[in-house]
Structure 1
Amino acid sequence: MFFQQVYDKSLAQGSYMVGCQKTGEAIVIDAQRDIDVYLDIAKQNNLRITHIAETHIHADFLCGSRELAVVTGAAMYLSDEGGQDWQYQFPHSGVKEGDVIRVGNLTLKVIHTPGHTPESISFLLTDHPATDKPVMIFTGDFVFVGDIGRPDLLENAAGLIGTKDVGARQMFESLKKFAALPEYVQVWPGHGAGSACGKALGAVSVSTVGYEKIRNWAFQYGEDEKGFAAYLLADQPEPPKYFSMMKHLNKTSRPLLIEVPKHSKLSETQFVAAYKKGIKIIDTRSKEDFAAGFIADSLNIQGNNSFATWCGWLLNYEEQFILIAEDRQIDDLTRKLMRIGLDNMYGYMPEVNNLGIELQKEDVISLEVFKTYIGQEQVQIVDVRGAAEYEAGHIDGADHIFVGTLEDHLHKISRDKQVIIYCQAGDRSAIAFSILARNGFQNVKNFSGGMKEWLANQRKTTGLKEITYKTA
C-alpha cells in the first residue's frame, strides 16, 4: 500500500493519497485546489489517480476534487447523506453508510459521521493483502487529534439558525461509532493545530482510536450529553467570513482552475494607475517594514501561514486587489489565495519605494510608553484578539473588537480620543492599524508587544492589578 499525507500549513489542512501498488490505482481524499502536488506524487510513484473522495462539504478551503477529476478522469465519491439540503449539486458518485469504495486491493468503507455537518462521512481503510482488519480511518472534520469538529459553523458562518444544537446531538451519537472501532486503527484527520474548525486541535498529525479515547476531551463525558454539548459549543473561535462562500462554492457548480495562475508584475505606471482607480492594495511585507513606510489605504496582511485566513476575512470575492510582494513569494501567495478561491489578483508590485507616492508611518509604541496611557480619560484601549482570548484575560479597561470584524464596528472606535490597539504579539494589531488608517482614523497607536510582552513584564513584578481574568 502507498500512503502520503499532503499538509497545507497555511490552512492547517490535511489531504491524503492512498494507492494500491500492485494495480497502480490511487485515491485522493479532500484535495486542495492546486492539484499539481497530487499529479507529481502519482507520477513519482507510478500511480494513476482513479478515485477522488471528500469527507464533507468543506467550509474552510475550496476543495480541488473537481479540478483533479477533470485532469485525471477519476470518479468522485461524495456523500449522499444528510438529506436533500446537504447534497452536492454537480455530477458525482454518491455514497452512504456501509458503502465500500474499492481501490485495487484496498477498500474504504463509508461511515456516516454527522455532527460537524449533516452529510459528513469518514472512510475506514483496509489493506487486504496485509490484513482483513481496518488499519486507518480518514475522519475529515469529525475527530481531530485531541478535539472534534465544531457543529456551530453552519449557524455562525452560514446563518443556518438552529443547526448547532442539532449538530451537537448528532456528534455525540457519531462518537459512539468511532469509539467502537479497534483501538489500534490510525486516525488521519482533516485538520491540525491552527485550524478554525475546532478550538483545541493537537499539533501531532496522526493519532489512534485508542489514544483519542483516553486523551480527547470529547470521550470523557460518558452519557452526559448536555455537558458534552455545552463544552463543545463554548468558546469556539470566530469563523472567518469566507467560510460561507466556501460552503457555497464547494456545493454548487463553479469555474474550475486546473493550473496555478501566473500573475503579472506591474510596472510603476501600471501600479500607480491601478492605485488611483481604488484597487485594494494588500501589503504582505513584515509588520516592521510596513510600519516603517506604507502606502495610504493599503492593508498589512503578512505573507506568513495566516495570510490566506486574513485575506478571507478582509477581501470579498468580487473586488480586484494587488499584492505588495517579492518575486520569490508570488507563487506561494498565489497558491494560498487560490485555496480559498480568491482569484481576482490584478497583479503584484515588489516594493513601495520610488513610486512617487508619499509613504505613511505607523505609530508603534513600547510597553513603557503604553503604560503611561492606561487609565487616561481621553484614551481608548482596544483589544483586537478573539472573544475567548479576551475573556480569558485582558488589560484592565480595554474594549474588545475582534480584528476580523473591526470594519463592521468602526462606530465603536473613537475619532476624538487617542486610540491604542493591541493583540497577542503584534500581527493582528498590525492588520487592525492598517484597517483603521484606511478608514481615516488618525489618532491610533499600536502597542505591538501585546499581551505576550505585557504578561512577561507582569511576571517580573508583584500583583496583577491591571489584568482581568475570567473566573468560573
Structure 2
Amino acid sequence: MLLRYFYDEKLAHASYVVGCQKTGEAVVVDPMRDITAYEELAKKEKLNFVGALETHIHADFVSGSRELNDRFGTKLYVSDEGDADWKYQNLDGISHQLLKDGDQFKIGNLVFDVMHTPGHTPESISFLLTDKGGSADKPMGIFTGDFVFVGDVGRPDLLEKAAGIQGTSDSGAASMFKSIERFKALPDYLQVWPAHGAGSACGKALGAVPSTTVGYEKAFNWAMQFDDEASFKKALLEGQPEPPYYFAVMKSVNKVGQKLIKDLPELKEITSAADVEALLAEGKQVLDMRPADAYSKGHIQGTINIPFNNSFTNWAGWVVDYNKPLYLLLDTEVLDEALGALRSVGIDEVYGFAEAETVLAQADNLASYENVSPSEANEMVEKGEAYVLDVRNQTEFDEGHIDNAEHIMVGTLKNRLDEVDTDKTIIVQCQAGARSAIAASVLKANGIDNLVNMTGGYSKWQQEVASVKQ
C-alpha cells in the first residue's frame, strides 16, 4: 500500500493519496483544487487515479474532485447522508457512487468502510481503511475529514453562521456528541488522518502535527472528555472563531459544481499605473499583494493590501468581492502561486496582473498611511485626538482590549463601514499589527483617510502602555 500526505499551508488543508501498489490503482481523499502534485506523484509511482473520496461538502476550499475526473476520469465517492439540503448536485455526467453508513468499496487490495459521522455537517462521513494486500483483516486507520482533528473536533456552527441555516448549531453539536461516542468505540491503535491542521477555521484548537491515533485522542482531545451531552454542547459552541464570508460560497460551489481551471479567464498583463487607476475608476478590484510596510509608504489610492504570506488565502476569502473582476499587483515571480491560492477558495474572476514595483514607479501622488507605536497611539487617545478601532476576533476582544476601543472584526469591516466614526483619527489595532494593516487598507480604499496603524498591536500595547499604567 502507498499512502502520501499533501498539505496546503495557506489553507491548513490536508489531502491524501492512497494506492494499491499491486494493481497500480489509487484514490485521493479530500483533494485540493490544484491537482499538479497528485499528477507528479502518479507519474513517479506509475499510478492510475481511479477515485476521489470526499468526507463532506467542504466550506473552506474548492474540492479538486472534478479536476481529477476531468484529467483521469476518476469516480467520485461522496456522501448520501444528511437531509435534502445537503445532497451533492454536481454529479451529472460524472461517474460517482453515493455512500451511506456501513457501505464498503474496494480499490485494488484496499478496502474502504464508510462511517457516518455527522456534527460538523449533516452529511459528513469518515473512511476506515483496511489493506488486504497482506494478512490484515482489520482497518489500520480512518480518514476523518473535518470530524476529528488532532486535539479538536469539527465545529458544528458553520451551517448557521456561514450558510444561514438557523438552528443547526445546536443540532450539529448534538450529532457531534453521538459521533464522538462512536469514535470512542474504535480500536485505540487506529491511525487518524484528518483534513486540517492548526490554523484552519473549521475548529478552534487544532494541533499542528499531521496525524494521531484514536487512543491518543480519547486520552487528550478536550472534546473526548465529556460524558454529559449538555456540557459538551456548551463547550463545543463556545469560543468558535468567526467563519470567513467565503465559507458560504464554498459550500455552494462544492455542492452545485464549479468551473474547471482550464475554463477560467485568461489573464492580461497591465503595464501602466494609468491603467490601474482606470480599472479602479470602473469599479474593478485591485489587490496590492506587497508587504504591509511597503504598501503603507506608498500605494495607488483605491487598492486593497493583503500581503502574500501564509494568511493570504484566508483574508482574500474575507475581503475580496467574489462578484467583481479582480486584478493583482504583485511580484510576478509568484503569480502562479498566487492564482493557485485564490482559486483554492473559488476566487476565479481574476482578469489581470501587473508587476507592482514597475507600475508604482510610474504613479504620481501615491497614497500612504502612518504607522505609530502603542505609546504614540496612547498619547493621541489621551489628548482626545483619536480613538482605537480593534479589528481582532470577538474571542480575542472579549479576553482583553484597550479601554473604550470600538470593535469591528477585520473580515467584516467592508460591510460595516457605516459604523466607523470618522470624526476623529482612527487608530487601527489588532493583536500584532498584520490584520490592522489589512483593515487600514480597506478603510483607505473606501475613502476613509484619517487613520493610523498601530504597530505591534495589543500585545505591544500591553508591554508599552498597560504595564506602565499599572
Residue of 115, 123, 142 corresponding to 2:119 = 115
| Structure 1 counterpart of 2:449 | 442
Residue of 92, 104, 119 corresponding to 1:100 = 104
| Structure 2 counterpart of 1:241 | 245
Cα distance in 2 for residues equivalent to 1:12 and 1:180? 28
* Residues 1:11 and 2:11 aligned together: yes
Report SS of the residue matched to 1:294: coil
| Structure 2 counterpart of 1:411 | 418
Report SS of the residue matched to 1:388: helix
Cα distance in 1 for residues equivalent to 2:111 and 2:255? 26
Cα distance in 1 for residues equivalent to 2:150 and 2:263? 32
Residue of 288, 298, 306 corresponding to 1:301 = 306
Cα distance in 2 for residues equivalent to 1:176 and 1:258? 44
Counterparts of 1:72-83 in structure 2 under 5 Å? 72-83=72-83
Cα distance in 2 for residues equivalent to 1:463 and 1:134? 60
| Structure 2 counterpart of 1:216 | 221
* Residues 1:316 and 2:298 aligned together: no
CA distance 1:340–1:215, shift in 2 (3 Å): same
Residue of 360, 369, 372 corresponding to 2:367 = 360
| Structure 1 counterpart of 2:210 | 205
Cα distance in 2 for residues equivalent to 1:74 and 1:270? 43
* Residues 1:333 and 2:338 aligned together: yes
Report SS of the residue matched to 2:404: coil
Cα distance in 2 for residues equivalent to 1:38 and 1:259? 20
Q: Encode CA deviations 1:12-67: one digit per residue, 9 max, x unaligned.
A: 00111000001100010111111121111111111110111100000000101011
Cα distance in 1 for residues equivalent to 2:329 and 2:293? 14
Contact 1:26 1:48 in 2 (8 A): yes
Contact 1:24 1:46 in 2 (8 A): yes
Give the CA deviation at 1:272. 4.5
Cα distance in 1 for residues equivalent to 2:158 and 2:165? 9
CA distance 1:151–1:275, shift in 2 (3 Å): same
| Structure 2 counterpart of 1:379 | 386
CA distance 1:316–1:276, shift in 2 (3 Å): closer
Give the CA deviation at 1:103. 1.0
Cα distance in 1 for residues equivalent to 2:266 and 2:324? 19
Give the CA deviation at 1:261. 7.5
| Structure 2 counterpart of 1:288 | 293
Cα distance in 2 for residues equivalent to 1:209 and 1:259? 42
* Residues 1:179 and 2:179 aligned together: no
Give the CA deviation at 1:119. 0.3
Report SS of the residue matched to 2:269: coil
Cα distance in 1 for residues equivalent to 2:265 and 2:89? 26
| Structure 1 counterpart of 2:70 | 70
Give the CA deviation at 1:452. 2.3
CA distance 1:244–1:391, shift in 2 (3 Å): same
Q: CA RMSD in A?
A: 1.7
Deviates more, 1:133-142 or 1:307-316: 307-316
Unaligned runs of at least 5 residues, structure 2: none
Cα distance in 2 for residues equivalent to 1:377 and 1:275? 35
Give the CA deviation at 1:343. 1.1
| Structure 2 counterpart of 1:467 | none
| Structure 1 counterpart of 2:146 | 141
Cα distance in 2 for residues equivalent to 1:377 and 1:456? 22
Contact 1:293 1:361 in 2 (8 A): yes
CA distance 1:118–1:205, shift in 2 (3 Å): same
| Structure 2 counterpart of 1:192 | 197
Give the CA deviation at 1:278. 3.1
1:8 alignment partner AA: D
Cα distance in 1 for residues equivalent to 2:131 and 2:287? 47
Give the CA deviation at 1:292. 1.0
Give the CA deviation at 1:414. 1.3
Q: Encode CA deviations 1:276-322: one digit per residue, 9 max, x unaligned.
A: 42321111000110011011011110111111111111122221111
Unaligned runs of at least 5 residues, structure 1: 465-472
Cα distance in 1 for residues equivalent to 2:150 and 2:257? 33
Report SS of the residue matched to 1:354: helix
Cα distance in 1 for residues equivalent to 2:55 and 2:193? 12
Counterparts of 1:338-353 in structure 2 under 5 Å? 338-351=343-356, 352-353=359-360
| Structure 1 counterpart of 2:85 | 85
Report SS of the residue matched to 2:22: coil
Report SS of the residue matched to 2:111: strand
Report SS of the residue matched to 2:413: helix
Q: Which has the higher helix share?
A: 2
Report SS of the residue matched to 1:139: strand
Report SS of the residue matched to 2:149: coil
2:293 alignment partner AA: E
Give the CA deviation at 1:445. 1.0
Q: Encode CA deviations 1:115-174: one digit per residue, 9 max, x unaligned.
A: 000000000111112311211110000000000000000000000001111000000000
Cα distance in 2 for residues equivalent to 1:74 and 1:94? 14
Question: Percent of aligned pairs with the same residue?
Answer: 47
Give the CA deviation at 1:101. 2.0
Q: Encode CA deviations 1:307-357: one digit per residue, 9 max, x unaligned.
A: 111111112222111111111111111000011111111211112423334
CA distance 1:260–1:215, shift in 2 (3 Å): farther
| Structure 1 counterpart of 2:234 | 230
CA distance 1:243–1:456, shift in 2 (3 Å): same
Report SS of the residue matched to 1:108: strand
Report SS of the residue matched to 2:130: strand
Deviates more, 1:82-91 or 1:26-35: 82-91
Q: Encode CA deviations 1:76-121: one digit per residue, 9 max, x unaligned.
A: 1100011222210133310111111211111111000000000000
Report SS of the residue matched to 1:353: helix
Residue of 454, 460, 466 corresponding to 2:461 = 454
| Structure 1 counterpart of 2:172 | 167
Contact 1:34 1:259 in 2 (8 A): no
Cα distance in 2 for residues equivalent to 1:21 and 1:141? 28
Residue of 262, 267, 271 corresponding to 1:267 = 271
- Structure 2-normalised TM-score? 0.95
- Total equivalences in the alignment: 462
* Residues 1:422 and 2:426 aligned together: no
